[in-house]
Amino acid sequence: MSIAHFAEIRLLHTDPRVTATLSANGKPFSEDQTRGFLDRSAEHWNRYGFGLWLVRMRERNDFVGYAGIRHTIVENADEAELAYAMRQEYWRKGFATEMSNAALKYGFETLHLEKIVAFTLPHNFASRSVMEKCGFIYQRDIVHAGLPHVLYSIDSRTFAARPRP
């Protein structure tokens, strides 16, 4: 993703239903915060050769959200993180799980990562359900961005051995 996707990412970043679990304070992002997010996403792609993908519906080219694998810091350790966010109108239709499975397949089969983590706010049961459907295992409670989160992880062996969706 890059600044060229500003208008689409603003759809996510200005929807209070989405930002309730996406932003540190639960509030919509400012335009500067969206630009910073896109700048960091482009920088990640340039540095590592992978990152977040913009996701669209194949049939209509409608913007759904984003998903992918990126580096993040969890408890002072560099981790490969599964990250995703999607427009509210696509919730509860299986898209988050499908996007996540595609990102995990890429992370393990193309990037040859040994482990991928994911985390969310404890009360974000929809996101926790997506993680569990993808084979992630709850590890522990953590603090991230100054807020309580739940940390999940999956390793390459567990991913390879799980039943395929």
Taking the C-alpha atoms of residue 123 and residue 146, their distance in angstroms, rounded to an integer, is 16
Reduce the DSSP state of residue 75 to 3 states and report it: coil
Q: Taking the CB of residue 102, how many other CB atoms lie within 10 A of it?
A: 14
DSSP 142-164: EEETTEEEEEEEEEHHHHHHSPP
Query: What CATH number is associated with residue 139?
Result: 3.40.630.30
Q: Domain of residue 34: give its range.
A: 3-161
Give the predicted TM-score (pTM) of the model: 0.92
**Structural domain total, the chain:** 1
What digits encode the pLDDT tens for the residues 82-113?
999 999 999 999 999 999 999 999 999 999 99
Taking the C-alpha atoms of residue 105 and residue 86, their distance in angstroms, rounded to an integer, is 19
- Are 116 and 154 in contact by the 8 Å Cβ rule? The answer is yes
Residue 23 has pLDDT above 80, yes or no: yes
